[in-house]
Structure 1
Amino acid sequence: MVNRHTLSIVLFTAAIAGLSWWLAEITEPKQQRQQVAGHHPDYYAEDLTITTYSETGSPKHRLATEHLVHFMDDDSAELEHPHLWMFDPVTPPWKLRAEQARITNNGEDIFLPGKVSIDREGQGKNRPYHIITFDLKVQPKLSYAETDGAFRLDSRQDWVTSIGMRGWFKEPARIKLLSEVRSRYETQ
């Protein structure tokens, strides 16, 4: 049988241990859960459209996507089925479409892997353009795009193909073709 003296020592020790635990809980902040290092999304958006405007209030760029996922570690975003419009006050907008995109550098750089379609409607003396290219890098603020991949431009009955392209979409629009250039131009 346990004597009273031993029982009181055990109860006193248990009370001190319980009090110590309770004081530690209320005086020390709980340790924050550490983030696992790596490339993990921190937010996403569905059916998103973003438009940037000039100082005069006219649209400069518009980006629409079915699905956007943002990553905090490198401040990048991945998009599904992106559509990008680049506006110019004197011509119809250039419209870029792709299956995927990756935005980096605080929105300064957009990479469109795979097949990319670029279209501009004709208006007045400006011809319509339909472009198919691959792995396009775009800098929207500069209205600039480039690729080292295959490139094809169609305008009415005329066409031109090349490997690699540098393009400026703001008027006066111009394209620099890099290699293996072939074309057909019909006079009317």
Structure 2
Amino acid sequence: MNNRPLYWFPLGILAVIAGLTFWLQFVVQSPRANIFSKDRHIADYIIEQFSVSRTNLAGQLIYTLHADHAEHFLDDDTTTLLKPHLIAHDDHQGSADVRAKQGFVTAKGKEVDFIGNVVLVRDAHDEQGPLTLTTEYLVAIPDARVVRTNKLVHVVGKSIQMTAGGLELDNQTRILRLTNKVKARYEPIK
């Protein structure tokens, strides 16, 4: 009987292990090995029909952020949004409702950037009525209840129409600051 296959079998297994070892060393040292490292901007999770809410200590709703699609990135802790919709709730000052084509949430959710066909409607509970703002870019700071832009903005209210090169709206103090090439038409409320 021929015993040569018994000798070749262990040698074959050693050759396969050696080949796998060389392959593994090549893969680990190649430039593509860092595809999932912290230096790469790759989404670590994706959410469809994204929704998040924030409440105060009494459990009252402060704001809600919705989006059709959200992608979170681990390297810089940011999130991109498709069709974001932010609703800031305030029983006394009125709510603010912001919508856009795209959005971007900074690390820890401190700011939300709205990009493309941005529409903000501030539903005031007073004689001035609602205020509608349209622009191409808007930064919202939900915890401070402030929105601002440095792009062309159109503001329309019950008795006023304005355009400006930028603005800042503080929903708590109800102060609207317009900057750069401001044009306004005001009709007193009767």
Please indicate the TM-score interval, normalised by the length of the shorter structure.
0.7 to 0.9
C-alpha contact (below 8 Å) 1:91/1:126 kept by paired residues: no
| Deviation at residue 157 of structure 1 after TM alignment | 3.5
CA contact (8 A) 1:77 1:102 kept: yes
CA positional deviation for 1:115: 2.3
Q: Which residue of 1 aligns with 2:151?
A: 149
Structure-2 change in CA distance of 1:186 and 1:19 (3 Å)? closer
Q: What amino acid maps onto 1:185 in structure 2?
A: Y
**Deviations 1:75-101 (CA, angstroms, capped at 9, x unpaired):** 111111110011223132100000000
Structure 1 ranges of 4+ moved more than 6 A: 19-22
Q: Distance in 2 between matches of 1:65 and 1:143?
A: 19
Aligned to 2:100: 98
Larger Rg: 1
Please give the per-residue CA displacement for 1:111-135, whole angstroms capped at 9, x wherever unaligned.
1122210002242445211111221
Q: What is the CA–CA distance in structure 2 between the aligned matches of 1:63 and 1:89, rounded to whole Å?
A: 18
1:36 pairs with 2:38: no
Match runs of 1:63-82 below 5 Å:
63-82=65-84
* Cα RMSD after superposing both structures: 3.0
Change (3 A) 1:169 1:124: closer
Q: Which has the higher strand share?
A: 1
Amino acid at match of 1:60: I
Alignment check: 8 A CA contact 2:146 2:171 kept: yes
State the 1:167 CA deviation.
Answer: 1.7
Q: In structure 1, how many angstroms separate the alpha carbons of the residues matched to 2:52 and 2:166?
A: 29
Unaligned runs of 5+ in 1: 26-30
Matched, 1:51 2:50: no
Deviations 1:37-94 (A, max 9, x none): 5221111111122111011111111001111111112111111111001122313210
- Residue 178 of structure 2 is matched in structure 1 by 177
| Distance in 2 of aligned mates of 1:118 and 1:21 | 64
Cα deviation, residue 16, structure 1 = 6.7
1:88 is paired with a residue whose SS is coil
**Aligned-residue identity in percent:** 23
In structure 2, the partner of 1:163 is 165
Mapped to 1, the partners of 2:11 and 2:92 lie a distance apart of 82
May I ask how many residue pairs the two structures share in their alignment? Answer: 178
Amino acid of the structure 2 residue aligned with 1:184 = R
Quick one: distance in 2 between partners of 1:19 and 1:152?
A: 74
Q: One-letter code of the match for 1:138?
A: A
